[in-house]
Amino acid sequence: MSHTMRDVAERAGVSPATVSRVLNKTQYISPDTEQRVLKVVRELNYYKNVHARRLSTGQSNLFGLVISEIANPYFPEIIRGFQGAAWDRGFDVLLFNTEYSPARTESVIRKLIESDVRGVAIMTSSVDTKTTAELTAAGVGMVFCNLGPPGRLISNISIDYQRGISQAIEHVVALGHRRAAVIAGPGDNRTAITIRHALIAGLKRHKLNPLPVIDCNYRVDSGASAVRTILSRSERPTVIFCGSDLIAMGAMNALEEEGVQVPGDVSVIGIDDISFAFLARPPLTTISVPREHLGAIAFEALQKLLKLKRQKGAEYYLGTELVIRKSTAPAKRQLSRTMT
Protein backbone atom coordinates (compact mmCIF):
# COMPACT_ATOMS: atom_id res chain seq x y z
CA MET A 1 0.00 0.00 0.00
CA SER A 2 1.35 3.41 -0.94
CA HIS A 3 1.03 6.29 1.49
CA THR A 4 0.49 9.99 0.92
CA MET A 5 2.07 13.03 2.51
CA ARG A 6 -1.19 13.52 4.43
CA ASP A 7 -0.78 10.04 5.95
CA VAL A 8 2.70 10.99 7.14
CA ALA A 9 1.42 14.27 8.57
CA GLU A 10 -1.44 12.65 10.49
CA ARG A 11 0.76 10.00 12.10
CA ALA A 12 3.50 12.53 12.96
CA GLY A 13 0.98 15.03 14.34
CA VAL A 14 1.99 17.85 11.99
CA SER A 15 0.60 19.56 8.91
CA PRO A 16 1.31 18.33 5.36
CA ALA A 17 3.16 21.63 4.81
CA THR A 18 5.54 20.75 7.64
CA VAL A 19 6.20 17.33 6.10
CA SER A 20 6.95 19.05 2.78
CA ARG A 21 9.36 21.47 4.45
CA VAL A 22 11.18 18.62 6.21
CA LEU A 23 11.55 16.54 3.05
CA ASN A 24 12.48 19.46 0.80
CA LYS A 25 14.56 21.33 3.39
CA THR A 26 12.99 24.62 2.37
CA GLN A 27 12.58 26.12 5.87
CA TYR A 28 13.97 25.62 9.33
CA ILE A 29 12.13 22.96 11.33
CA SER A 30 12.97 22.15 14.94
CA PRO A 31 15.18 19.04 15.31
CA ASP A 32 12.51 17.21 17.35
CA THR A 33 9.81 17.78 14.74
CA GLU A 34 12.18 16.86 11.92
CA GLN A 35 13.17 13.58 13.58
CA ARG A 36 9.51 12.72 14.30
CA VAL A 37 8.53 13.28 10.68
CA LEU A 38 11.51 11.32 9.32
CA LYS A 39 10.74 8.43 11.69
CA VAL A 40 7.20 8.19 10.26
CA VAL A 41 8.56 8.50 6.70
CA ARG A 42 10.74 5.44 7.35
CA GLU A 43 7.93 3.51 9.06
CA LEU A 44 5.52 4.10 6.16
CA ASN A 45 8.24 3.72 3.53
CA TYR A 46 7.02 7.00 2.06
CA TYR A 47 8.57 8.48 -1.10
CA LYS A 48 8.09 11.97 -2.44
CA ASN A 49 6.03 12.24 -5.61
CA VAL A 50 8.09 14.66 -7.67
CA HIS A 51 5.48 14.78 -10.43
CA ALA A 52 2.80 15.83 -7.92
CA ARG A 53 5.15 18.52 -6.60
CA ARG A 54 5.66 19.82 -10.12
CA LEU A 55 1.92 20.01 -10.69
CA SER A 56 1.23 21.77 -7.37
CA THR A 57 4.11 24.26 -7.43
CA GLY A 58 4.69 24.70 -11.15
CA GLN A 59 8.39 23.95 -10.63
CA SER A 60 10.46 20.82 -10.91
CA ASN A 61 12.79 19.50 -8.25
CA LEU A 62 15.62 19.06 -10.74
CA PHE A 63 18.89 20.76 -11.61
CA GLY A 64 21.09 19.69 -14.51
CA LEU A 65 24.85 19.13 -14.57
CA VAL A 66 26.65 18.78 -17.91
CA ILE A 67 30.24 17.51 -18.15
CA SER A 68 32.46 16.38 -21.01
CA GLU A 69 33.09 12.72 -20.21
CA ILE A 70 32.31 10.59 -17.19
CA ALA A 71 35.60 8.64 -17.49
CA ASN A 72 37.76 11.75 -17.04
CA PRO A 73 38.97 11.85 -13.39
CA TYR A 74 38.70 15.65 -13.46
CA PHE A 75 34.92 15.51 -13.08
CA PRO A 76 33.96 13.20 -10.14
CA GLU A 77 34.78 15.82 -7.51
CA ILE A 78 32.75 18.45 -9.39
CA ILE A 79 29.82 16.03 -9.49
CA ARG A 80 30.16 15.32 -5.77
CA GLY A 81 30.26 19.02 -4.88
CA PHE A 82 27.28 19.94 -7.07
CA GLN A 83 25.19 16.95 -6.09
CA GLY A 84 25.95 17.38 -2.39
CA ALA A 85 24.93 21.04 -2.45
CA ALA A 86 21.73 20.17 -4.32
CA TRP A 87 20.77 17.29 -2.03
CA ASP A 88 21.42 19.39 1.08
CA ARG A 89 18.69 21.72 -0.17
CA GLY A 90 16.24 19.01 -1.19
CA PHE A 91 16.89 19.00 -4.94
CA ASP A 92 17.85 16.25 -7.36
CA VAL A 93 20.44 16.28 -10.15
CA LEU A 94 20.30 15.06 -13.74
CA LEU A 95 23.83 14.30 -14.97
CA PHE A 96 24.73 14.37 -18.67
CA ASN A 97 28.03 14.01 -20.51
CA THR A 98 28.58 15.30 -24.04
CA GLU A 99 31.62 13.20 -25.05
CA TYR A 100 32.60 16.33 -27.05
CA SER A 101 29.94 15.39 -29.64
CA PRO A 102 27.79 18.22 -31.14
CA ALA A 103 24.97 15.75 -31.87
CA ARG A 104 25.04 14.42 -28.32
CA THR A 105 25.14 17.96 -26.95
CA GLU A 106 21.98 18.85 -28.89
CA SER A 107 20.30 15.77 -27.43
CA VAL A 108 21.41 16.73 -23.91
CA ILE A 109 19.93 20.23 -24.26
CA ARG A 110 16.64 18.79 -25.54
CA LYS A 111 16.45 16.35 -22.59
CA LEU A 112 17.18 19.14 -20.11
CA ILE A 113 14.29 21.22 -21.47
CA GLU A 114 11.98 18.19 -21.56
CA SER A 115 12.88 17.44 -17.93
CA ASP A 116 11.91 20.99 -16.93
CA VAL A 117 15.10 21.56 -14.96
CA ARG A 118 15.32 24.71 -12.86
CA GLY A 119 18.90 25.44 -13.84
CA VAL A 120 21.96 23.85 -15.42
CA ALA A 121 25.66 23.91 -14.58
CA ILE A 122 27.68 23.62 -17.80
CA MET A 123 31.05 22.37 -16.55
CA THR A 124 32.53 21.64 -19.96
CA SER A 125 34.29 24.08 -22.28
CA SER A 126 32.88 22.26 -25.31
CA VAL A 127 29.49 23.97 -24.78
CA ASP A 128 28.85 27.70 -25.07
CA THR A 129 25.97 30.18 -25.09
CA LYS A 130 25.30 29.71 -28.82
CA THR A 131 24.80 26.00 -28.25
CA THR A 132 22.57 26.55 -25.23
CA ALA A 133 20.38 29.34 -26.66
CA GLU A 134 17.34 27.06 -26.44
CA LEU A 135 17.82 26.75 -22.69
CA THR A 136 17.92 30.53 -22.29
CA ALA A 137 14.80 30.88 -24.43
CA ALA A 138 13.06 28.35 -22.18
CA GLY A 139 13.94 30.46 -19.12
CA VAL A 140 16.47 27.98 -17.74
CA GLY A 141 19.27 29.55 -15.71
CA MET A 142 22.84 28.46 -16.43
CA VAL A 143 26.28 28.71 -14.89
CA PHE A 144 29.36 28.20 -17.04
CA CYS A 145 33.04 27.78 -16.27
CA ASN A 146 35.59 30.16 -17.83
CA LEU A 147 33.06 31.45 -20.36
CA GLY A 148 33.27 35.20 -20.02
CA PRO A 149 31.06 38.04 -18.74
CA PRO A 150 27.74 36.98 -17.19
CA GLY A 151 24.38 37.99 -18.64
CA ARG A 152 20.68 37.39 -18.26
CA LEU A 153 20.13 33.84 -16.94
CA ILE A 154 23.90 33.23 -17.19
CA SER A 155 26.50 33.27 -14.42
CA ASN A 156 30.16 32.40 -14.82
CA ILE A 157 32.85 30.89 -12.62
CA SER A 158 36.37 32.00 -13.53
CA ILE A 159 39.14 29.71 -12.36
CA ASP A 160 42.23 31.76 -11.55
CA TYR A 161 44.77 29.57 -13.32
CA GLN A 162 47.13 32.52 -13.42
CA ARG A 163 47.88 32.24 -9.69
CA GLY A 164 48.91 28.59 -9.77
CA ILE A 165 50.76 28.96 -13.07
CA SER A 166 52.78 31.89 -11.71
CA GLN A 167 53.71 29.82 -8.65
CA ALA A 168 54.73 26.90 -10.88
CA ILE A 169 56.93 29.06 -13.11
CA GLU A 170 58.61 30.71 -10.12
CA HIS A 171 59.19 27.22 -8.69
CA VAL A 172 61.04 25.94 -11.76
CA VAL A 173 62.98 29.18 -12.20
CA ALA A 174 64.23 28.81 -8.63
CA LEU A 175 65.30 25.27 -9.54
CA GLY A 176 67.46 26.66 -12.34
CA HIS A 177 65.40 25.64 -15.36
CA ARG A 178 66.01 27.67 -18.51
CA ARG A 179 64.44 25.55 -21.27
CA ALA A 180 60.73 24.76 -21.16
CA ALA A 181 58.12 23.05 -23.33
CA VAL A 182 54.34 23.21 -23.12
CA ILE A 183 51.90 20.40 -23.89
CA ALA A 184 48.57 22.24 -23.80
CA GLY A 185 45.08 20.83 -24.12
CA PRO A 186 42.86 20.89 -27.23
CA GLY A 187 43.31 23.94 -29.45
CA ASP A 188 39.55 24.58 -29.60
CA ASN A 189 38.90 24.29 -25.85
CA ARG A 190 38.29 27.55 -23.90
CA THR A 191 40.02 26.39 -20.73
CA ALA A 192 42.97 24.92 -22.61
CA ILE A 193 43.43 28.17 -24.52
CA THR A 194 43.36 30.16 -21.27
CA ILE A 195 45.99 27.90 -19.71
CA ARG A 196 48.21 27.90 -22.79
CA HIS A 197 48.21 31.70 -23.03
CA ALA A 198 48.97 32.05 -19.31
CA LEU A 199 51.84 29.57 -19.51
CA ILE A 200 53.42 31.13 -22.60
CA ALA A 201 53.12 34.69 -21.24
CA GLY A 202 54.47 33.70 -17.83
CA LEU A 203 57.40 31.74 -19.23
CA LYS A 204 58.33 34.59 -21.59
CA ARG A 205 58.34 37.04 -18.69
CA HIS A 206 61.02 34.87 -17.09
CA LYS A 207 62.88 34.57 -20.42
CA LEU A 208 61.93 30.91 -20.79
CA ASN A 209 60.59 31.07 -24.33
CA PRO A 210 58.72 27.72 -24.50
CA LEU A 211 59.70 25.48 -27.42
CA PRO A 212 57.78 23.62 -28.57
CA VAL A 213 54.16 24.38 -27.66
CA ILE A 214 51.95 21.43 -28.62
CA ASP A 215 48.16 21.08 -28.51
CA CYS A 216 46.67 17.68 -27.72
CA ASN A 217 43.59 15.98 -26.29
CA TYR A 218 43.07 15.51 -22.56
CA ARG A 219 44.20 11.89 -22.69
CA VAL A 220 47.19 9.93 -21.48
CA ASP A 221 48.15 8.66 -24.95
CA SER A 222 48.09 12.21 -26.34
CA GLY A 223 50.58 13.33 -23.69
CA ALA A 224 52.82 10.41 -24.58
CA SER A 225 52.68 11.24 -28.29
CA ALA A 226 53.50 14.90 -27.63
CA VAL A 227 56.57 13.94 -25.58
CA ARG A 228 57.93 11.83 -28.44
CA THR A 229 57.66 14.91 -30.66
CA ILE A 230 59.53 16.96 -28.06
CA LEU A 231 62.29 14.35 -27.75
CA SER A 232 62.82 14.36 -31.51
CA ARG A 233 64.03 17.97 -31.41
CA SER A 234 67.71 18.85 -31.31
CA GLU A 235 67.34 20.95 -28.16
CA ARG A 236 65.35 19.41 -25.37
CA PRO A 237 63.63 21.15 -22.47
CA THR A 238 64.53 20.57 -18.85
CA VAL A 239 60.92 21.10 -17.77
CA ILE A 240 57.60 20.28 -19.43
CA PHE A 241 54.38 22.05 -18.44
CA CYS A 242 51.24 20.03 -19.19
CA GLY A 243 47.67 21.28 -19.63
CA SER A 244 46.24 18.53 -17.40
CA ASP A 245 47.38 15.77 -15.08
CA LEU A 246 46.31 13.11 -17.58
CA ILE A 247 48.57 14.69 -20.20
CA ALA A 248 51.38 14.86 -17.63
CA MET A 249 51.02 11.18 -16.72
CA GLY A 250 51.19 10.20 -20.38
CA ALA A 251 54.24 12.42 -20.77
CA MET A 252 56.03 10.83 -17.79
CA ASN A 253 55.27 7.34 -19.07
CA ALA A 254 56.70 8.16 -22.50
CA LEU A 255 59.79 9.77 -20.95
CA GLU A 256 60.41 6.63 -18.92
CA GLU A 257 60.04 4.45 -22.01
CA GLU A 258 62.64 6.60 -23.79
CA GLY A 259 65.09 6.27 -20.90
CA VAL A 260 64.61 9.86 -19.71
CA GLN A 261 64.46 10.17 -15.94
CA VAL A 262 61.82 12.28 -14.21
CA PRO A 263 62.83 14.54 -12.52
CA GLY A 264 66.56 13.81 -12.94
CA ASP A 265 66.63 14.68 -16.63
CA VAL A 266 63.29 16.44 -17.16
CA SER A 267 60.84 17.90 -14.63
CA VAL A 268 57.10 17.61 -15.31
CA ILE A 269 54.23 19.76 -14.01
CA GLY A 270 50.50 19.06 -14.45
CA ILE A 271 47.27 20.91 -13.80
CA ASP A 272 44.15 19.79 -11.84
CA ASP A 273 45.55 17.65 -8.98
CA ILE A 274 43.29 14.70 -9.76
CA SER A 275 43.13 11.93 -7.18
CA PHE A 276 45.74 9.85 -9.03
CA ALA A 277 48.33 12.64 -9.20
CA PHE A 278 50.04 11.77 -5.92
CA LEU A 279 50.01 8.07 -6.87
CA ALA A 280 52.04 8.67 -10.04
CA ARG A 281 55.68 7.61 -10.00
CA PRO A 282 57.17 10.00 -9.18
CA PRO A 283 54.25 11.80 -7.49
CA LEU A 284 53.20 14.65 -9.76
CA THR A 285 53.85 18.32 -9.04
CA THR A 286 50.65 20.00 -10.18
CA ILE A 287 48.43 23.06 -9.98
CA SER A 288 45.48 22.19 -7.77
CA VAL A 289 41.95 23.18 -8.80
CA PRO A 290 39.48 22.75 -5.87
CA ARG A 291 36.91 20.94 -7.97
CA GLU A 292 34.50 19.83 -5.24
CA HIS A 293 34.26 23.48 -4.18
CA LEU A 294 33.74 24.37 -7.86
CA GLY A 295 30.73 22.04 -8.00
CA ALA A 296 29.26 23.53 -4.82
CA ILE A 297 29.77 27.10 -6.07
CA ALA A 298 28.07 26.19 -9.36
CA PHE A 299 24.93 25.08 -7.55
CA GLU A 300 24.91 28.10 -5.24
CA ALA A 301 25.35 30.40 -8.25
CA LEU A 302 22.30 28.84 -9.92
CA GLN A 303 20.17 29.21 -6.81
CA LYS A 304 21.10 32.88 -6.41
CA LEU A 305 20.50 33.57 -10.10
CA LEU A 306 17.03 32.04 -10.06
CA LYS A 307 15.96 33.99 -6.97
CA LEU A 308 16.66 37.34 -8.62
CA LYS A 309 13.73 39.10 -10.27
CA ARG A 310 15.83 40.34 -13.19
CA GLN A 311 17.72 37.02 -13.29
CA LYS A 312 20.97 38.86 -14.00
CA GLY A 313 23.94 36.52 -13.63
CA ALA A 314 27.08 37.14 -11.58
CA GLU A 315 30.81 36.42 -11.80
CA TYR A 316 32.47 34.04 -9.33
CA TYR A 317 36.17 33.32 -8.82
CA LEU A 318 38.02 30.19 -7.77
CA GLY A 319 41.70 30.18 -6.89
CA THR A 320 44.39 27.63 -7.73
CA GLU A 321 47.51 26.59 -5.84
CA LEU A 322 50.76 24.86 -6.74
CA VAL A 323 51.26 21.47 -5.05
CA ILE A 324 54.95 20.51 -5.09
CA ARG A 325 55.73 16.81 -5.22
CA LYS A 326 58.62 14.79 -6.63
CA SER A 327 58.26 15.23 -10.41
CA THR A 328 60.24 18.50 -10.25
CA ALA A 329 63.89 18.89 -9.25
CA PRO A 330 66.89 21.16 -9.99
CA ALA A 331 67.64 21.42 -13.70
CA LYS A 332 70.30 19.24 -15.21
CA ARG A 333 73.11 21.46 -16.44
CA GLN A 334 73.46 19.90 -19.86
CA LEU A 335 70.96 17.78 -21.70
CA SER A 336 71.95 16.13 -24.97
CA ARG A 337 70.31 13.72 -27.35
CA THR A 338 72.67 10.95 -26.23
CA MET A 339 70.69 10.50 -23.03
CA THR A 340 68.27 8.14 -24.78
pLDDT per residue over 158-191, tens digit each?
A: 999 999 999 999 999 999 999 999 999 999 888 9
User: Are 5-48 and 62-160+290-320 equal in CATH topology?
Assistant: no
The CATH classification of domain 5-48, taken from the options 3.50.50.60, 3.40.50.300, 1.10.260.40, 1.10.640.10: 1.10.260.40
User: What is the percent of the chain with per-residue pLDDT over 70, rounded to a whole number?
Assistant: 92
pLDDT tens for 278-311 read: 999 999 999 999 999 999 999 999 999 988 877 8
- Is residue 65 a contact partner of residue 93, using CB atoms and an 8 Å limit? yes
Domain ranges of the chain: 5-48, 62-160+290-320, 162-288+323-339
Q: Which of 50-54, 75-79, 214-218 has the lowest average pLDDT?
A: 50-54
Confidence of residue 55 (pLDDT cuts 50, 70, 90): very low
pLDDT at 152 over 60: yes
Percentage of the chain exceeding pLDDT 90 = 64
Query: CB-hemisphere CA count at 13 Å for 265?
Result: 15
Which CATH fold topology does 62-160+290-320 show? Rossmann fold (3.40.50)
Instruction: Indicate the pTM of the whole model.
Output: 0.81
CA 190 and chain centroid, separation: 13
**Residue 263, pLDDT above cutoff 50:** yes
Element (H, E) at 166: helix 161-174
Rg (CA), the chain: 24
In this predicted structure, what is the pLDDT of residue 274? Answer: 95
Average pLDDT score over the chain:
89
Burial zone of 252 (CB within 10 Å; 0-12 exposed, 13-18 middle, 19+ buried): buried
Report the range of poorest mean pLDDT among 5-9, 197-201, 226-230. Answer: 5-9
pLDDT in tens, 204-235: 999 998 999 999 999 899 999 999 999 999 88
* Contact between 155 and 96 (Cβ < 8 Å): no
Sheet with 119-122, edge to edge strand ranges = 92-97, 62-67, 119-122, 141-145, 154-160, 315-319
Rounded to whole angstroms, how far apart are CA atoms 123 and 274?
16
Letter for the amino acid at 75? F
Nearest to 74, CA basis, from 124, 122, 144, 119: 124
* Class at the top of the CATH hierarchy for domain 162-288+323-339: alpha beta
Residue 121's pLDDT band, with cuts at 50, 70 and 90, is very high
Predicted confidence (pLDDT) at residue 325 exceeds the cutoff of 70: yes
Buried b (16+ CB within 10 A) or exposed e, 212-229: ebbbbbbbbebbbbbbee
Three-class DSSP category at 335: coil
**pLDDT at position 1, please?**
58
